[in-house]
C-alpha cells in the first residue's frame, strides 16, 4: 500500500495531512515526523556529475527542487580533512557553510518548505546558529523573519541576524524561555514556525551530512559518527540519512552514533547512563558550549532511541576540555566556536567508548579501496563535524 506523505506523531500516532502549518501534534503536542515519503532515487553515481551542493540529492529532499534551487546559497559538500595526530579520524568542516554553521543544511530545506506553503512571515528561536541560518535563507526567499534569542547570546551571532535584516527579539531568561516566546508568536494566523527542532523538514536537510560522507569515503560510512547533541538536529539527521542509505542497500549497517553533551547540561547523557527513554530533568549550569546547552530537548526520546539503535552512546565533556580542544584546533588552523570543539574534546579526553567488538575485515573479493576512502594509511573510522565558525564567538 502506497501512503501519501503526511506528518505523523510518534507519541500518539495521529496523522496530519500535508500541506500543514501545524508544527506539533494537534492532539498531544508531540513532535511530528514526515511519514510516507519514500521517493525514487537516481543511481548514486549520478550524484557525482552534479554541482557540489546538497541539491545534488534533490530527489531525497521533501521539497520541489526547482523552487528550492532559487533560494540556495551554495550550501553542502563541505570538506573532509584528516585530524592531525589521530589516524583514522576525519573532520567534516561544516563551518564553511554560507552562514558559518551546519545549520544551513536544515535551514535551506525548511525555508523551501515554508515558501512552498506560501508563508510570507516566519518566526524562529535559536541560541544563534539556527536562527542565523533560517534568517539568511528567509532573506534569500523574500520571507519576513523574526528570531527569538536568549539575552546574552554571542554578539557576533546577533550582528549576523541583523545583517540579514531579521527582527531580533532578545528574551530574558533561558534558551527555553526564548523557545516559548517564539512558539507564542507563532500562534498568530498565517505565521510559519520555522523551528529547527519541531519541523521535520529541517532533519531532511541535515541528513545530507550522511550522504556527503558516503560519497567522500568512496561509497561507505565510517564505523563511528561522533556528533554534538543539544536538540539533536544533526544526530537525528545523520541517523535518518544513514537509514535511507541502508534502505537502498548502499551501506550494510548503520554507523555507531556517539553523541557528545556539555557536562553542565547533559539531560541525554544522564538518561542514557540510567537506561531511560526520556531526557532526565536537569538544572543547567552555564557552559561555553552554548549551542548544545538544551535542558529539555523536544526530540529527546527520539535521540536516545536513535543512539541506542546504532549501538552508540551519549558522553559528556567539561568546559575545560572543550576550551583545550578548541585551542588545539585553532593551533592547527581550524577556527571554531566552543560548541564545535565538543566532539574533538571527546576524542582527546578518551570519552569515546571503544568499538565493542573487533570489526571483521573486509570480505575477500571486495573491491579495492575507492578513491577518497582513506586519509593516509589508516582508513577513516571516525568522523566528527566542526559545526560552527570561530568568527561568531571570538574569545581567544
Ligand atoms: Zn500526538
Please identify which residue in the block is written with the cell numbers 541539491.
55
Ligand 1 ion local residues (Cβ < 5 A): 9, 11-12, 14, 25, 27-28, 30
CA of 393 to the centre of ligand 1 (A): 38
Q: How far is CA 205 from CA 79, 96, 233, 362, in A?
A: 17, 16, 10, 31
d(CA 76, CA 105): 7
Cα-to-centroid distance, 97 and ligand 1 (Å): 34
Cβ-contact 160, 127 below 8 angstroms:
no
Q: How far apart are CA 353 and CA 369, in angstroms?
A: 27
Peptide bond into 19 cis (omega under 30): yes
CB 59 within 8 A of CB 39: yes
Separation of 32 CA from ligand 1 center, angstroms? 8
Q: What distance in Å separates the CA atoms of residue 138 and residue 136, rounded to the nearest whole number?
A: 5
Gap from CA of 200 to ligand 1 centroid (Å): 15
Distance 150 CA to ligand 1 centre (A): 28
**SS3 at position 378:** strand
Give me ligand 1 centre to Cα 387, in Å: 32
Q: In what order do the strands lie in the sheet with 167-171?
A: 167-171, 144-150, 121-125, 192-193
Grid cell listed for 60: 531525497
d(CA 24, ligand 1 centre) in Å: 8
CA-CA distance, 125 to 150, in Å (whole number)? 9
Report the distance separating Cα 359 and Cα 380, nearest Å: 13
What's the 235 CA to ligand 1 centre distance in angstroms? Answer: 22
Each residue's pLDDT, cut to its tens digit, for the chain (396 residues) gives: 457 889 999 899 999 988 777 889 999 999 999 999 988 899 999 999 999 999 999 999 999 877 777 899 999 999 999 999 999 999 999 999 999 999 999 999 999 999 988 888 999 988 679 999 999 999 999 999 999 988 887 787 889 999 999 999 999 987 788 889 998 998 888 789 999 999 999 999 999 999 999 999 999 999 999 999 999 999 999 999 999 999 999 999 999 999 999 999 999 999 999 999 999 999 989 899 888 988 899 999 999 999 999 999 999 999 999 999 999 999 999 999 999 999 999 999 999 998 876 555 544 444 444 444 555 578 999 999 999 999 877 666
- Residue 279 Cα to ligand 1 middle (Å): 18
Q: CA-to-CA distance for 117 and 39, rounded, in angstroms?
A: 20
Amino acid at each position: 500500500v502506497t501512503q501519501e506523505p503526511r506528518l505523523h506523531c510518534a507519541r500518539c500516532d495521529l496523522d496530519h495531512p500535508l500541506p500543514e502549518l501545524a508544527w506539533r501534534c494537534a492532539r498531544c503536542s508531540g513532535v511530528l515526523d514526515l511519514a510516507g515519503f519514500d521517493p525514487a532515487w537516481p543511481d548514486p553515481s549520478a550524484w557525482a556529475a552534479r554541482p557540489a551542493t546538497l541539491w545534488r540529492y534533490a530527489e531525497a529532499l521533501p521539497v520541489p527542487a526547482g523552487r528550492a534551487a532559487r533560494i540556495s546559497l551554495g550550501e553542502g559538500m563541505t570538506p573532509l580533512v584528516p585530524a592531525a595526530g589521530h589516524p583514522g579520524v576525519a573532520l567534516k568542516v561544516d563551518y564553511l557553510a554560507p552562514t558559518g554553521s551546519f545549520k544551513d543544511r536544515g535551514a535551506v530545506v525548511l525555508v523551501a518548505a515554508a515558501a512552498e506553503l506560501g508563508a510570507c512571515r516566519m518566526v524562529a528561536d535559536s541560541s544563534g546558529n539556527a536562527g542565523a541560518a533560517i534568517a539568511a535563507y528567509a532573506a534569500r526567499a523574500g520571507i519576513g523573519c523574526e528570531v527569538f534569542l536568549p539575552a546574552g547570546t554571542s554578539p557576533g551571532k546577533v550582528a549576523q541576524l541583523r545583517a540579514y535584516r531579521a527582527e531580533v527579539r532578545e528574551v530574558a531568561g533561558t534558551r527555553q524561555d526564548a523557545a516559548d516566546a517564539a512558539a507564542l508568536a507563532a500562534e498568530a494566523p498565517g505565521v510559519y514556525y520555522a523551528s529547527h527542532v519541531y519541523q521535520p523538514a529541517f532533519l531532511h536537510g541535515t541528513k545530507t551530512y550522511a550522504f556527503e560522507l558516503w560519497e567522500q569515503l568512496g561509497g561507505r560510512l565510517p564505523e563511528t559518527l561522533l556528533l554534538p547533541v543539544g536538540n539533536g538536529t544533526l544526530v537525528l539527521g545523520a541517523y535518518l540519512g544513514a537509514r535511507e542509505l541502508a534502505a537502498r542497500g548502499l551501506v550494510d549497517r548503520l554507523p555507531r552514533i556517539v553523541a557528545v553533551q556539555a557536562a553542565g547540561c547533559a539531560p541525554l547523557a544522564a538518561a542514557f547512563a540510567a537506561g531511560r527513554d526520556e531526557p532526565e530533568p536537569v538544572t543547567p549550569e552555564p557552559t561555553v558550549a552554548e549551542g548544545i546547552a538544551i535542558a529539555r530537548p523536544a526530540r529527546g526520546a527520539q535521540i536516545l532511541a536513535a543512539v541506542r539503535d546504532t549501538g552508540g552512546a551519549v558522553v559528556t565533556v567539561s568546559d575545560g576540555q572543550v576550551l583545550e580542544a578548541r585551542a588545539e584546533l585553532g593551533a592547527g588552523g581550524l577556527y571554531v566556536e566552543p560548541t564545535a570543539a565538543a566532539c574533538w574534546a571527546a576524542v582527546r579526553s578518551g570519552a569515546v567508548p571503544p568499538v565493542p567488538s573487533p570489526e571483521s575485515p573486509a570480505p575477500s573479493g571486495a573491491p579495492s579501496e575507492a578513491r577518497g576512502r582513506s586519509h593516509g594509511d589508516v582508513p577513516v573510522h571516525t568522523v566528527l563535524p566542526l559545526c560552527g565558525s570561530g568568527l561568531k564567538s571570538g574569545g581567544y
